[in-house]
Chain A
Amino acid sequence: MRLNKEWTIKGIAMAVTGTILVLAGIAFAQHRNFKEEVVLGPGVTTVRTLGDYFAPLKGGPNDANVFILGSGEPGGTMLVLGASHPEEPATSLTAHLLVENATVEQGKLIVVIHSNPSASTVTRPGDAYPRFFHIETDWGVKRFRMGDRWANPLDSWPDPETYVHFPSGQLLAYMDVRNLNRTWPGRANGSLAEQTCYAFMRLIEAEGVDLVIDLHEAELEYPIIGTIVAHQNGLRIAAMASMTLTAEEFRIGMEISPLALHGLSHREIGDHSNAPAFLAETPQPFLDRVRGITDESLLLTGKDEFVMKAGEHGLLYWPIDEDGWPIDVRVGRHCSTILSIAGFWTMFNRSKPLVVTGVPRYADVVAEGVGRFFADPRGARAQVVLE
């Protein structure tokens, strides 16, 4: 009798566990296999993938789409990296918006929407991130993947006991071997993230990239926020962009890339290529450790009482009020920052002009909403690339 009871309990536990595993498995598979639809804008001349620049990546999890927007006119070449950290969605949305809207009059613009695609197929265990987020558009709701800071362990595992950065030898936390903004300039035979950075460095060489902008978002508890971090080769441009944007559109700071902090795009790309690198940060309360309910609402509105309370205690490096930091504001800031950097590049490099049009500025995105700038993939003449 006692044996039967034990087996009944075990049987029920097994059935419940099995059901949970199946349902969770379906959810994980939906997230991992979901593809975002990118409608090629009028400026896109070629779509390549990262594997075209470093063959071992071809067909793999990080064979990211590389959208090239050419003008046919000589000029400078700018590379914009979205979603180095896919848990910072204003970055991929901005890059997505560029691909669908930008036209290049002079020079060339290269855009990568998901720079570490593997990291966009997983959320962070223990942090309860939503799997997707949704943006209202003129033609319906557009769905996007929410991701993590690190590449998916299904694609890059195991981690070493400690991550030794190449080539500096600096020690970093073990999981940062999967962090795209700690693995620059990369290694041909390294981890997935290191190989991805290596491929980007080959892209920079092959396409003659003159400047790189790496888009990010940061928690308000973090000192490097609401700013442009620039390699020493790009200080003049960053300083001018910061001053002009602050005077005309929104407050944004400027920081010099620390010499001793290795693996980051703004340090290593500048050190290992001719292209000055800039890292643009917007505020994202969703990433704060003191945040309240973790859901899509917080991700998109940036409103959080707990983060506000931390601000009242002077614990934040960036202000927050009842209006939060909505996704439109964050995408708008990135749009204007990119346009401003491109403008000052042209001012300081007359022989290599870079003229980008069709991209809304901060005020436009805030007024109309980011969804206004996404085309209907079911539209009659829409050319769609799956991302």
Chain B
Amino acid sequence: MYIHAGIVLGVIVLVFALARFLKLSTELAMLGAALAGLIVHGLVVPSRELVGAFAWFEVPRHIVDGAFTYFDVVLIFLTATLFMNLLKDAGGVAYIVRGIVRRFHRHRALALLFLTVVMLIPGALTGSGTVTVLVVGALVGTVLAYMGVSEVRVTAIVFMCAAMSAAAPPINLWAMMAAAGSNMPYVGFFLPLGVLSVLGALFSMFYLGWKGTPIDLEQIMTELPKPPRGMRWWKVVVPFVVLFGLIAAGRVWPWAMPVLGLPLMFMIAAAIVVLTNLGQLRLIKVISDTVEQLLPLVGVMVVVGILVQVMALSGARGLISLGIVTMPLVAIFATLFIILPVSEGLIQYAVAPLIGVPLILLFNMKGFNPIIALAGMAAMWPIGDMLPPTSVVGRATVMILGFKGRYYSGFAKTCLVPAAFVLLLGSLFVVFSSRLGFLVGG
């Protein structure tokens, strides 16, 4: 079993590396690696009790089954981006940016605080850092740019705050999935997750955004794109009010409100943008551009699902999982800051049941507070969203802000200090979880 899983894992890594060397895109390289892993598994699978040879008829089923692993997330990406792109096309984003600059241009600290709150809300409500980037990333990025923050720092701030928004309560998907997998109620996480995410977001915003140039209001107002003549504040506010209203209604009246799902909520908000700007939008072009813009991101999510399926089938997933949980506890603590982000970069949310559940059961067995420890881990995972091969939120940030610099030596390097702050904080929460039990509040 070890040899088999090792061979499959080796083939996956080798084919991926080779494909990247041959300049294939990340998505195609991963697809090639997953398919090679699947074929090798079928060819060399050891004889197993009660079952015959590998059923090749199952290969297409495994590919499609895996491809649908993150279907819901993909739908959210598409609909959220369409909503924001329509708003941008209508001139709504320019309108908001001008408003924020005008109101906060004298008070840098207040402006940064306000922008942090704006960044935290979408992810806190949806659990997705990508949604934060897609909904408010461009807007916040533009304001920061006019506050004299460099392009690379703006990109890093947007990513870090988006990551912290995904970690923020009430919805933290990693914590929810790991809690569900270990049969813990998702209760008591609000305060620990809140402390971690708010501290992480504030540190990122102020560390990277404090230095800048004072805002020259007149110059900025001249430079900023002017919204179209018919644009009014209510045309911008109403779609957001409806969107957040629908999300909030599901929480306030959970048993009276029909379940719409985030994709439909974003489509309703998008429809309102269309209706309030009739005849002014290039609807087909915006839809077409949105799909084109998101194709790499969607491709990665689809292919990662296939890869996860192949790894589960062949035992490669188990081998990785086993390798992590059988490490000595001190080694786990010392390497959590690497293991968690790297595994998130590899398999996204699937990391919560794969590594999170065994780890949380292990911590529980050793007498650590599982809620605080899981909250600590759940704040560290989102940092991995800028790491390869998926880099989902990182890529979305770079894409949405039109960042032209280098991804690793520019953007990722700038994220290092705030990321290290969050990872240190998260690690401390895990290590000292039994002493932080007082945070288990609600």
Contact = CB atoms under 8 A, between A and B. Distances in A.
A218 B314 CA distance: 21
B60 interface: yes
A173 B57 contact: no
B68 A160 contact: no
B261 A159 contact: yes
Nearest to B262: A161
Contact of A306 (B180, B262, B318): B318
Nearest to B128: A161
A291 B313 CA distance: 10
Interface string A7-26: 00000000000011101110
A297 B361 CA distance: 26
Contact of B315 (A166, A224, A292): A292
B318 A291 contact: yes
Contacts of B63: 20, 24
B180 A315 contact: no
Given A161-B125, A172-B185, A293 B1 contact: yes
Contacts of B331: none
B251 A164 contact: yes
Given A158-B263, A171-B187, A315-B365, A222 B182 contact: yes
A131 interface: yes
B255 A190 contact: yes
Contacts of B187: 170-171, 260
A289 B353 contact: yes
A291 B66 CA distance: 18
Contacts of A313: 325-326
Interface in B186-205: 186-187
A314 B171 CA distance: 33
A221 B312 contact: no
A125 B68 contact: yes
B170 A23 contact: no
Nearest to A301: B49
B321 interface: yes
Contact of A260 (B60, B185, B318): B185
A262 interface: yes
A190 B258 CA distance: 9
B367 interface: no
A19 B353 CA distance: 32
B65 A297 contact: no
B183 A222 contact: yes
B171 A162 contact: yes
A377 B289 CA distance: 58
A293 B326 CA distance: 19
A174 interface: yes
Interface string B41-69: 00001101111000001101111111111
A126 B357 contact: no
A174 B308 CA distance: 21
A305 B49 CA distance: 14
B109 interface: no
7 contacts: A19-B60, A161-B171, A290-B325, A297-B50, A306-B315, A306-B318, A309-B326
Interface of B: 1-2, 4-5, 45-46, 48-51, 57-58, 60-69, 71-72, 125-127, 170-171, 176-177, 179-183, 185-187, 247, 250-251, 254-255, 259-264, 305, 308-310, 312-315, 318-319, 321-322, 325-326, 350, 353-355, 357-358, 361-362, 364-365
Given A134-B50, A161-B247, A306-B1, 17 more contacts: A23-B61, A160-B261, A161-B126, A162-B171, A169-B254, A171-B170, A173-B177, A221-B361, A222-B182, A222-B361, A260-B185, A291-B315, A292-B1, A292-B318, A293-B1, A300-B50, A317-B365
